[in-house]
Structure 1
Amino acid sequence: MRTLDLFGAAVSNTWRSKTRTILTALAIFVGAFTLTLTGGLGTGINRYIDDTVSSIGASDVMTVTKASDSASGGIGGGSGPVEYDPDAVSAGVGGGPGTTVTALTPDDLDTLASVAGVLRVEPTRALSADYVQHGEGTKYVASVGSLIPGQSLQLAAGAAPDGATDAAQVVLPVSLVEPLGFDSNDAALGQQVTVAISDAARTPHTVTATVVGVAEETLVGSASLIPNDALADELWALQNTGVPEAQQDRFASATVWFADDATADDIAALKSALTAVGYTGTTVTDQLGAFKTVIDAIVLVLNAFAAIALLAASFGIVNTLYMSVQERTREIGLMKAMGMASGRVFSLFSLEAVFIGFLGSMTGVGLAMLAGSGISSALSAGPFADLAGLTLIAFDAGSVVTIVVAVMAIAFVAGTLPAARAARKDPVEALRYE
């Protein structure tokens, strides 16, 4: 029997018992459907994280903090009593309530500048605004963030703040547009808002700034006001009113620049050099990499359930083909008596198993892609509408093909036992079988 005929016969034989074949394929379908959907979830979220990193564009900068054994996780942080550190300062936005780090001083900035591979150093100022307000409207609590040097904001409207102007400018997070009384993102542009901040004696001060942009919700910095340099300088000066001059130059972190063509090994070497002198360096990719680790772990757990479904399906394939071998004993004997080699008989039954795997996997993958696209579109227009560019469930052609091939391979392995049994049958004994 020619190879092409062998394929045709295998496909035809699988439909001798349609009900049994369909039920076995459905078991495979469940596993393939789950694998495709969970894989698409991981692909979609990781792709969004990669896009977020790319949009930041700060591939040649690193956030540096001072390593300290006395850094505090705050009351209730679960790390036990922490020794008081007079040099500790607030970790700033994103650090969590009560989180502190050892302050960087001008001497620390000089030390960082002397580390091999560091091109430039700038301190990061932690600003703690009291509230933001438009006109006589409601006052809303808002943190003040900062642009990582080289960062490009994901804007819903307007433009990034101008660092070269002396006029105070600010970018609002999209979550504050309607609460502040603006009808739309575009309506907020050019309007004045008041930012309040208290000094060391808790005396409140206010600064008026012009809204030049509205920032989309992202994985980082989504709920912060982003000031330009003029506004940040004014807020910093007001916040430090009454603070002794010697205590003013204390920073939670610093930004260091390195070569924009630095390789992964170069960046790792720079981190090691910083660690050697008592500092910790973190790139934006490192920070967002934690999200990817969590997502990959969740997807791995979900895939485990799909693997269990495929394992159950493999037993179904074994059962289906064993019954087929039993029912076709005389036919196998006739084929071998007419000269078909044992290897050909083995191939025939193995191809039947592979075809069942192909049938179940293609159906599962196809329906999973349809369901995933529908779910993703619904969520993008609903709960995740503020996360611009997020496709929650996305499919990669390579991953889809891998799933189909993997399921067919599992089906082949499952079919080897009954196929081997068919190949070993003695033609004389098989022809006598009733």
Structure 2
Amino acid sequence: MNASDLITTAVSQTFRSKVRTTLTILAIFVGAFTLTLTNGLGTGINNYIDDTVSSIGAEDVMTVTKPSSEGLPDPTAPVEYDPNAIAAGGAGIPGATVVAIDADDLDTLEGIDGVLRVEPTISITPDYIQYDGGTQYVTGAGSLIPGQTMQLAAGSEPDDGSDVLELALPEALVEPLGFDDAEAAVGQTVEIGITDAERQQHVIEATVSGVTEPSFSGPTITVAPNQALTDALSAAQNTGVPAADQNLYAQASVWFDPDATTEDIDALKDRLEDAGYSGTTVADQLGTFTAIIDGIVLVLNAFAVIALLAASFGIVNTLYMSVQDRTREIGLMKAMGMGSGRVFTLFSLEAVFIGFLGSAIGAGIAMLVGAGVSSVAGAALPDLPGLTLIAFDPVSIATVILIVMGIAFLAGTLPAARAARADPVDSLRYE
């Protein structure tokens, strides 16, 4: 009996006891269904992170600050004033600051081994945004982190290489400002009010180059100016500020080798720390969030594995009963010259085929359910455009099926070994 005959025979014998085999396949189906669905959940959420949140910066850029030697203050205790400190937005903690980065710091950073380029991050605090003399709305101005890409509902990103003052308008401000839709806002001129150090308000006009979709990666009412508009707003905001205080920054962006390994990046962080700075990459910012998602998926996968282990006992029982029912048949096959190895292979193939059926059906139905859940989630979470809650990676699905088939094979080894050891004379005498 050649390999193709073994496979054909194993498949045909699988449903010799239809009820028993069907129940075993259903048990495998539960585990495979759960495993596929939970993996799809992790894939979907992590893909959304990659597509939206990961676009907050390039992988070869590090955000550098100069932390205070005291760290975060005790919110219940008074904090000593530091004239060189800049507010760090410490989640409402009074005195949460970093030491200002000045021109000397920028030179120091450029001299650190592994640093290719340094640029300060300019902080702008506009008062309002307005269109055509209409209602004035409070807004923020978030300069693009190097390497950032936007999720656009219409138009294009502001051009940093252009002398035209441009900005990307958040979708949340489209209708309040008086535009019919995102497309109608593109190309229009808006006014931004900003107050200087002398308490004088300046009004600067800018063109809307595009409209950004909402996401959880940042505030939904923050405009994104290009470099020309950033410079204009910064110049207006710094009117009346002493020249010595104008070039102080809360943070800077540091470029390093895009081919740097994790060890290289960690070594650069250590060198920055030795120099009195703190560096954070995009991976660091996303690490905690993705770790939580992966942890949840891992726990859910554990339940699926438990279901598969329970199903494996069903495979053992099914094949043991099959060996028992086919004792005389096994004796006849061995009497006709089939070796123990081929008998073992025959029953092992039956186990693998049962595992394949259960896992393939489970994965297929999980994909259908996942598509339905993702569709409902998309309608229920309009503030997260582009989210596919449950996404399926062909490699992951194939891996799940192979894992289940492997478990089925291992579960089938005991009854297959029993069949392989059967004595043909005793088997033919069996009643």
What TM-score results when the alignment is normalised by the length of structure 1?
0.85
Which one of the candidate residues 334, 337, 340 is aligned to 1:336? 334
Distance (Å, rounded) in 2 between the aligned partners of 1:346 and 1:85: 80
Alpha-carbon contact 1:53-1:284 (below 8 Å) kept: no
The reply to whether residue 128 of structure 1 matches residue 131 of structure 2 is no
Change beyond 3 A, Cα 1:119–1:348: closer
229-238 or 13-22, which deviates more? 229-238
1:136 shift after superposition: 5.1
1:237 shift after superposition: 4.2
Change beyond 3 A, Cα 1:311–1:372: same
Distance (Å, rounded) in 2 between the aligned partners of 1:85 and 1:333: 92
Instruction: Provide, for residues 48-78 of structure 1, a one-character-per-residue CA deviation record: whole Å limited to 9, x for no partner.
Output: 4334588667344321112444333885xxx
Which one of the candidate residues 205, 209, 216 is aligned to 1:212? 209
Which one of the candidate residues 293, 296, 301 is aligned to 1:303? 301
Instruction: Provide, for residues 230-278 of structure 1, a one-character-per-residue CA deviation record: whole Å limited to 9, x for no partner.
Output: 4323433454456555444332101123455656555444333222212
- Give the corresponding residue for 2:315: 317
The reply to whether residue 410 of structure 1 matches residue 412 of structure 2 is no
Alpha-carbon contact 1:70-1:83 (below 8 Å) kept: no
Change beyond 3 A, Cα 1:136–1:6: same
1:405 shift after superposition: 1.0
AA at the equivalent of 1:101: V
Give 3-state SS (helix, strand or coil) of 1:62's partner: strand
The reply to whether residue 159 of structure 1 matches residue 156 of structure 2 is yes
Matches within 5 A, 1:218-229: 218=215, 220-221=217-218, 223=220, 224-229=222-227
180-189 or 271-280, which deviates more? 271-280
Distance (Å, rounded) in 2 between the aligned partners of 1:275 and 1:2: 67
- Give the corresponding residue for 1:288: 286
- Give the corresponding residue for 1:368: 366
AA at the equivalent of 1:40: G
- Give the corresponding residue for 1:276: 274
Q: Which runs of 5+ in 2 are unaligned?
A: none
- Give the corresponding residue for 1:195: 192
Instruction: Provide, for residues 307-343 of structure 1, a one-character-per-residue CA deviation record: whole Å limited to 9, x for no partner.
Output: 1111111111112122222333333334334443333
1:359 shift after superposition: 0.6
Matches within 5 A, 1:16-415: 16-52=16-52, 58-72=58-72, 75=75, 84=80, 86=82, 87-91=84-88, 96-98=91-93, 99-135=96-132, 137-163=134-160, 168-199=165-196, 206-218=203-215, 220-221=217-218, 223=220, 224-240=222-238, 243-259=241-257, 266-380=264-378, 383-384=381-382, 386-388=384-386, 390-415=387-412
Give 3-state SS (helix, strand or coil) of 1:251's partner: coil
Percent identity reads 63
Instruction: Provide, for residues 112-140 of structure 1, a one-character-per-residue CA deviation record: whole Å limited to 9, x for no partner.
Output: 12212333322112223344333454444
1:300 shift after superposition: 1.4
Instruction: Provide, for residues 359-410 of structure 1, a one-character-per-residue CA deviation record: whole Å limited to 9, x for no partner.
Output: 101111122223323433454465257534x443332222222111110010
Alpha-carbon contact 1:24-1:316 (below 8 Å) kept: yes
Alpha-carbon contact 2:59-2:258 (below 8 Å) kept: yes
Distance (Å, rounded) in 1 between the aligned partners of 2:78 and 2:295: 31
Instruction: Provide, for residues 167-210 of structure 1, a one-character-per-residue CA deviation record: whole Å limited to 9, x for no partner.
Output: 54321112222233321111112333343445558776554433
Change beyond 3 A, Cα 1:262–1:5: closer
Alpha-carbon contact 1:173-1:222 (below 8 Å) kept: no
Change beyond 3 A, Cα 1:100–1:26: farther
Give 3-state SS (helix, strand or coil) of 2:21's partner: helix
Change beyond 3 A, Cα 1:85–1:263: farther
206-215 or 355-364, which deviates more? 206-215
348-357 or 41-50, which deviates more? 41-50
